[in-house]
Structure 1
């Protein structure tokens, strides 16, 4: 039986069709054309915030650059340290803003790799950051069955954070009962957290930091307990994190990001540095075990390259894999994440990565980049024009 075409599906198809039609009709200003007698053996990875959009506003030239690459069948992926929404929601939003057809197979958010940590899918995890319960729903979409937010815990136990009153109504609007109560009289029946995930920039640093600290000092991750091993000098790390505390994961280390405000704003890395300082003060400098993914880590760039290779195969078919992907141009605005990551990345597939820094985001002209890019351009449009010409000269197009 054929699937009925509902009004919602019909509108979605119409919108996608209009986008494709406009892209085909619009005159291109790029002068360089790739040679279509062979498959281009290069591709692109683009940061989003500060490269393609700034807050909710498209950056001039972004539509032109991406449309050109799609017309020429040159593969690209969007590689961002942003997050806080599902991949599907973020792709819909970007497709509308940039006026180009996109799909989730071209898109990697900072927390996307968390989907692969299947050892926690049946455990109880604390998810921190983002607006309301969006990150909780993202985690559930990744396959996590028991996901708790700080808002859930605060609403059930307001005494856990004495300064939460101004946010109380906000939390009540989305909070859900935790899977277990805080029941210290019967620890096996009490709320136990097996892993902590910071998916996106925390909104209420006080509550979030307090709960993470409680759990990292707890016994076996049971909320409300305090490990007797803490401070024991006879144990490794003075006894801290020696009693089955939950693993701590951050989705990215970005200290700054480019918003609609004229000065850069603190990102998730700001919270991470703040919590490190809090941990050091409380424990006297004990080592804090944590895992940070996102740009510039090797794992995230490897994940992105695999996405790019899959997307290239989708564009050109299996024959595309017979001609290796030799070069990837990483276009970003942040030397600490985009440029450092591209410069340091060791491709398991043998491709070379070229770092391209643009002036439309975090980095400002006149500053010395903390990590030197291969080249600097005004914006993404100029970056793509240069890269395609560079690939042609190298015999890649």
Structure 2
């Protein structure tokens, strides 16, 4: 491959400038990508404007020494890293956006740490990484990839051997993923529908065969004096429970997970609302505590969402609803059921929520530390070395708001800088945020390549 087919950063007329100064001034940069003397084979000029390139530099500063060919004393380790959203930043639908592949290859070649941080999901991390590598010509692993439900693995110590309910775009695939994480007893709304079709007495449920449940669903006997109707459902007394058997003999759900965008909203909402009103999570029961206004106060299952994205950039020319829309629908029905007396208690992962940024920061620290140790750096030189993360995203509601809100609040005190690109859901005519709004980005650039150029100039990673 010719040198003119390769990307690298070259000298800039800007001197090293603080992040705050560049953000406030909103300075733009000239083209920074130029061919290196020892090019990575995957980085080509395809997809860029012709004026993005120029001749190779006559000299390259030590920052641009290929890490593999330098000792720790010769190579300056980066104190910054990148976090990229995928849809609307690197890909549109399934096709790479211009400059995306080249940008990742450049960072990978010079061992500048980065992760992909997406609110997408519904597949195993390894499968998704393999697809992305094929599309982008990259060499990523699961060590620098985090999708919306990846942090669910952190809940294994609590729920590994307990029965959990999971839903998403494909019940069986969702079950496989959670079982792959290590959860040992996973059921779906389809399983419950199979065991008790009367749970959802409509003909809109298609192809939900489901599996056998680990325990039967509790059902009240329809005999006089053995049950009574509460204000919101069926309640049974202690004597009836003793006659029919202990609740422990029936299916109990300890937690409910929304893995990715659900398809059968009606069935899912029905099952979720039933369990949120249940006695201690036993399917088919109704807690008397609800009648006293103590909603979600009788050991009902915890509720977890993998993300809260209301909209996302799909093939259609207007944004499409995502998992956040399902969450809003569930909350709206819950408010009607409880007459607005109790806010739905739930935990949301994904961007913009802090738990996901904490997880991403830990991932970046591990990823950075791994190859620094391989280069011979000592622990004292590695710890605390990640000073700044550039979050590159297209969605002000998630990517940008999350980075701005998390900025400096993690255990490492790392600065998070938000870079908004215009290749996804962002529309300046509809999303004009004022100063102080958490959704307002530090910097706005037309695409991912320009965003990375700005960040690298800001870090002084070019010769003067």
Structure 1 match to 2:447: 379
Instruction: Tell me which of 255, 263, 282 is aligned to 1:203.
Output: 263
CA offset digits 1:63-87 (Å, max 9, x no partner): 0110111112111001111111111
Q: Does 1:76 align with 2:139?
A: no
1:106 aligns with 2:141: no
Q: Does residue 1:347 correspond to 2:364, yes or no?
A: no
Deviations 1:191-244 (A, max 9, x none): 111111111111110000000000011111111111122121xxxxx1211211
Alignment pair present for 1:334 and 2:390: no
Question: 2 CA distance for matches of 1:363 and 1:161?
Answer: 39
The 5 Å alignment of 1:137-176 reads 137-163=176-202, 165-168=203-206, 170-172=207-209, 175-176=210-211
Written as runs of structure 1 = structure 2, the 5 A alignment for 1:38-77 is 38-77=76-115
Query: Which sections of structure 1, spanning at least 5 residues, go unmatched?
Result: 1-20, 233-237
- Structure with higher Rg: it is 2
**Change over 3 Å in CA distance of 1:139–1:228 after alignment to 2:** same
1:304 aligns with 2:360: yes
Matched, 1:224 2:284: yes
Q: 1:30 to 1:332 in 2, by over 3 A?
A: farther
Contact 1:30–1:385 (8 Å) recurs in 2: no
Give how far 1:297 is off. Answer: 1.6
- TM-score, length-normalised on structure 1? 0.87
Q: Is the 8 A contact 2:42 2:137 kept in 1?
A: no
Larger deviation, residues 385-394 vs 105-114 = 385-394
Asked whether the 8 Å contact 2:218–2:282 carries over to 1, the reply is no
- List alignment gaps of at least 5 residues for structure 2: 1-37, 46-51, 66-74, 220-243
Query: Post-superposition shift, 1:153?
Result: 1.4
Asked if the contact 1:39/1:320 (under 8 Å) is kept, the reply is: no
1:23 is displaced (CA, Å) by 4.6
Q: Choose from 250, 253, 263 the match for 1:193.
A: 253
Other structure's SS at 2:138 match: coil
1:384 Cα deviation from its structure 2 partner = 1.1
1:258 shift after superposition: 1.0
Residues 1:127 and 2:162 are matched in the alignment: no
Give me the whole-angstrom Cα distance separating, in 2, the residues matched to 1:126 and 1:132. Answer: 10
Q: Residue 132 of structure 1: CA displacement?
A: 3.7
Q: 1:271-313 CA distances to partner (integer Å, 9 max, x unpaired)? A: 1111111011011112221111211122211110111111112
2:335 paired with 1:280:
yes
Which residue of 296, 299, 307 maps to 1:244?
A: 299
Counterparts of 1:329 and 1:26, CA distance in 2 = 22
Check conservation: 2:44, 2:102, Cα contact below 8 A.
no
Paired residue secondary structure (1:314): helix
Partners of 2:361 and 2:352 in 1: how far apart? 13
Change (3 A) 1:280 1:313: same
CA distance in 1, matches of 2:208, 2:77: 52
Aligned length: 367
Q: Find the residue that maps to 1:144 and give its secondary structure.
A: coil
Aligned residue runs from structure 1 range 311-326, under 5 A: 311-317=367-373, 319=377, 322=381, 324-326=385-387
SS at structure 2 position matched to 1:347: coil
Change (3 A) 1:260 1:242: same
* Structure 2 Cα separation of the partners of residues 320 and 39 of structure 1: 12
Partner of 1:133, secondary structure, is helix
Q: Does 1:361 align with 2:424?
A: yes
How big is the shift at 1:348? Answer: 1.5
d(CA) in 2 for partners of 1:142 and 1:81? 18
TM score, norm. by length of structure 2:
0.75
RMSD of aligned residue pairs (Cα, Å): 2.2
The structure with the largest helix share of the pair is 1
